Each structure stands twice: as C-alpha cells, then as structure tokens.
Amino acid sequence: MKRKLVKGQGWGYKGHTCCCIHRQTQPSHSCFYIVFLCITGGFLVGTMCCGGFAKCLGISLIPLAIVCILCNILLFFPGGKTQETDHITVEVFYLGGIVGSGVLMIFPALVFLGLKNNDCCGCCGNESCGRRFAMLSSILFAALGVAGAGYSIIVSSVAINHGPKCMTDSVNKNWTTPFNDGDYLTNHTLWAQCKGPPNVVHWHLSLFLVLLVVGLVQVALCAVQVVNGLLGALCGDCCGCCGESNGAV
C-alpha cells in the first residue's frame, strides 16, 4: 500500500476509500489521525485480507460444528448403550451441541466462506459499499455464532456440574443423578455410585468437555470475525474491487 500526495487534495492511500482526503494543500491534524488509523487498520487488513481471512474462519467452523453434532448424538447413548429416554441425562435433550454449536454455527460459516467471492459492485453501482455491507453483515452472523456457541457452553457447563444420570441401585433398577455441585470431578471414588451403564461417567464427562472446549473455540473464532468485519467495513477490502485493483498496491 502506497501513500501519495494528490495535488490540491491532500494525503490519501491509493486503493483505499477510508483514508482522509482534504481539499487542502496541507493535511490537517484530523487527517493525520485518520491516516494513522488507516496505517494500523491497513496493516491488519493486509494480514487478514478480510474476505480471505473470513474464508479460513468458515473452513475452521464447519468441522467444529460437525464434531459438536456428533458428540451430542453420542450422548443419547450413555456408555455407548441404547437406553430408555428416562435414563438419559436431561441436559442432552437441550441439544446444545446439535442446535447451538452445530446448526446455528453452519450459517455464519457459510457466510464467511462466501465473503471472499462477494461482488462489491452490486450495491447501487457503488464500488465500495457492496463489499463493506457484506463485511458488516458478517458481523451479525458472527454474533449469531457467538450466541449459539454460548448456549452450548452453558448447557455443557451445567451438565458437567450435575453429572450423568445413571443406575445407582442394580437391584431395584433405580436411575438418578447421584452427584451434587460437581463433587465427583475432584473425588473419583464417588464414581462407584453409578452401577451402570459401564463407563457412563467417563462417557458423559468426556463428551460434554469436548462440547465445552469446542464452544469456546467457536466463540473465539466468531469474535475474531467481528474484528475482521469491522476492519473490512471501515478500511475496505485489501483485495480490490470486482477483480480490478486500479493500480492499488
């Protein structure tokens, strides 16, 4: 990116619309401030390349969403065994992995993937507003992703704290949740209270931990896209418009 002094207009950055252009022979203090922001933003945009970086985020979110959906489905089979509905932990039916970190995460992922090829000349003939609007809209979908992943995180945290529903009396076939306030997390001897299904505590804890960790990663990725979208909306896309750079570096 090169900065050039346009005679009779002031300082500006060739190829970027966010930089300050004053019809003065000398740049004002406000122009210097905006140019500084554009230098910083331009560096980050140049690194992220807005649409290209969003595509990488979208590619990362899709497999994470699939993992969450699979984990939630496996939780319907405590210990890897088919059980009656009443014998399944209630938090599994909240569908935090299927809906929150799964389906709701697919929408922002697809939007991020499409930003790279977005036609920025499709907004009332304006060469810059189409791309900027697309980057702004990606922030809304990123917020949707944060909400979905946040829901999954909350459900997973509650499920880990409550522990699994298991058979505590093999004679009377009594199924209940024997743990309180996550006490089984630090005292593994309590796990013996679950008589069945086999390894149900490991099954419950491992899968919900995966949902919790993946949810946190998804929140982080969507938060990065919020920053990326703001940079793209404010300083334009670094990859040019409609395939033409117009000499921009």
- The one-digit pLDDT tens for each residue of the chain (249 residues) are 445 554 444 444 444 444 434 444 444 454 444 444 444 444 444 444 556 778 888 899 999 999 999 999 999 999 888 888 889 999 999 999 999 999 999 999 998 888 766 544 444 445 555 567 777 888 899 999 999 999 999 999 999 999 999 998 877 788 998 887 888 998 888 998 998 888 999 999 999 999 999 999 999 999 998 988 888 777 655 444 434 444 443
Statement to judge: residues 58 and 35 lie in one domain: no
- What pLDDT is stored for residue 77 in this prediction? 94
**Containing domain of residue 37, as a range?**
1-48
Q: Which of 18, 33, 48 is the last residue of a domain?
A: 48
Statement to judge: residues 111 and 188 lie in one domain: yes
Task: Report the number of distinct structural domains present in the chain.
Answer: 2
- What pLDDT is stored for residue 129 in this prediction? 54
Examine residue 249 and state whether it is found in any structural domain, yes or no.
Answer: no
Q: Which of 48, 66, 83 is the last residue of a domain?
A: 48
- What pLDDT is stored for residue 52 in this prediction? 75
Q: What distance in Å separates the CA atoms of residue 150 and residue 143, rounded to the nearest whole number?
A: 10
Statement to judge: residues 38 and 90 lie in one domain: no
Statement to judge: residues 41 and 124 lie in one domain: no
Contacts of 93 (CB under 8 A, 6+ apart): none
Statement to judge: residues 149 and 219 lie in one domain: yes
- What pLDDT is stored for residue 128 in this prediction? 52
Statement to judge: residues 133 and 150 lie in one domain: yes
